Structures are given as structure tokens and as C-alpha cells.
Amino acid sequence: MTPLFDLELIVISGKGGVGRTTVAAALARAAADAGKRVLLAASTTTDRLGRMFGRAEPVGTEVVTLAPGIDAVNMTSESALHEYGLLILRSELVTRALFENRAVRGFLGAVPGLDAYAILGKAWWHTTEQASGRRRYDLVILDGPASGHATLMLRIPGAILAAMPKGPLARDAHALQDLLHDPTRAALLIVTLAEELPARESVELATAARETLGLTLGPLVVNALPSDAPTTPPLGALLDRLPTLEVAGSDPALWATLRLAASAGAHRRLADTIVARLRRELGLPIVALPRLPTADLGPTAIAELATYFIPQRAP
């Protein structure tokens, strides 16, 4: 497996709500700390990404710098299609006249998967972008859509080549397909939680990526893993005896705290079981990110999570 930081494109996907954007931000931070020039290519309507790097203004459709070594862009299918049209037509006036035409917009909106392909195509283009005679970015991280949409998005280059084997669209689809299928240049990074539904969807996505799409998988990222503190001795041994302990006359607050700790311990043991099953079924290295005590993640939290992508930290 090529080290993540040596790739050109990483596509991140997983079930909705597993923290794909958090993982993308932490991975970008780790890569930049390793000396890489990184572009975070988001495809979301929310602006959590900017806040994760302490930026007050939202990340828009123009590339902005979030931190040293890290640029970001929040892509939309409309802006991506416009940029692609401009590359082909080489005229802002002609591009606007075409894409602002109601009939053309209606036709494009009816093409299945075109919006997703526009996002993927823009991410690919940034891997080829030049500055000062060399590639502008060493690594492009695409914060991609949830599992089902990601599978559709990654199928489209092959579908284009099958339907239109010649022409500018086919040429770019071929270049994108070559990139996606080169294990030394690109990988799909699946994010999950140590819970039944996300884990099951991760296995389905990994199977589709390997058997249908022929893509290389990066390590499986298990996000927000519960703390193992309630399962470690001597606390774990005490909590295991909780149902048999004498509770008469005990402090109600202390008893409630112990019960909460016991519940947290049971949650962690279940999580460990799910992670072990994922390791067996997928045969992938696993990067486990801890659950942090806040949902409003900022630069400090992202920097902490980034350390788990340093190779020697991965279990």
C-alpha cells in the first residue's frame, strides 16, 4: 500500500454522519505537517471545514488558504461545470451564454450523475494544476459524498468511456480513470463509526470498490472511538462487579456515576468487537480516531486528530 501522503488523490467516503469532513481536515493537517502542499476539495453545503481551521468566513467556490500548506475549495456542480466549460470553450462569454441557457441547464440537470461527475472531475483537474512549472498540489483530498452517491460518482468515468470513446470528454474521463485505478497515485478512504449500521455500509462500499470499481482502498478510518478508560483495570474490574455490590446507604451521585461508567465500558467493548470484525472482513489497516468531548471542532482538535495519521501511530 502506497503511503497516504505519497498519493495524488484521496477520495473520502462513508455513511452519512460518520465524520468524513473531520477526517479530511485531520488528514490534510497531517499531510501538510509532513511537508506536502494539500488541497481540501469539499463537496458540502455546510462550512464546518472553515471553522475547523479557525476561519471566520465560509469556504466558497474560489480556492482559499486555510493554513500553511493547506488550501481549500467548496465545490458545487454548477461552478465545476462552468469551469470545465471554460477550459473546453476558452471563452467566458461563450461559456456563460451556453450554461446560462435555460434549455441547456434543463438538459444537463436531467443527465444522471453529471453533478457528481463534475465534482470528481474538478478534483482530478486540481491534481494536474500547474504553478511555477510544477504541480500546484502534492495531494488533493476530496471530501466526497456518502457511500451510495460515491459509488455512482466513481462509476461515471467508465460509463463515459463506454458511451463516448472519443472526444474531449472521453480524453479527460480516460485520464481520470487512469488516476483512480493507479494504486501509486489514488485511493478510496472509507470512514466509519464502530457501530453496526455504519460498519455494515463500510463493508458494502469496500466490496463495491474492490470487486466492481477496481479501486485501491486506503486504511479504514474508525472515527469517534469511545474511550477505553472504563474497561481498564482496576476500574474495569470494579464496574464488572457493579450488579453485585451493596448499594444501600451509598452516595446516589457516586452510584449514578458508576452506572454511567459501566454503560460507557459496555459501549467500548461493543465497539472493539465491531472493529475486530471489520479488521477480519476487510483486511485493511485501521486508523482509530478518539471521540473528542466537543462537536464544534477547531484547529487544536484537528491538530490532535492529525497525529493519528502519522504512520507509527496507526495500530
- All domains of the chain in start order, with CATH: 4-227+283-313 (3.40.50.300)
* First and final C-alpha spacing in the chain: 15
Strand partners, 189: 12
Q: Work out the average pLDDT over 119-140.
A: 94
Q: Are strands 130-131 and 139-143 parallel, antiparallel or unpaired?
A: unpaired
Asked whether residue 314 carries a pLDDT value surpassing 80, the answer given is no
Looking at the chain, the whole-number percentage of residues with pLDDT higher than 70 is: 77
310 alpha-carbon distance from chain centroid: 17
pTM of the predicted model as reported, rounded to 2 decimal places: 0.87
Under the banding of pLDDT at 50, 70 and 90, the label for residue 254 is: low
Under the banding of pLDDT at 50, 70 and 90, the label for residue 117 is: confident
Looking at the chain, the whole-number percentage of residues with pLDDT higher than 90 is: 57
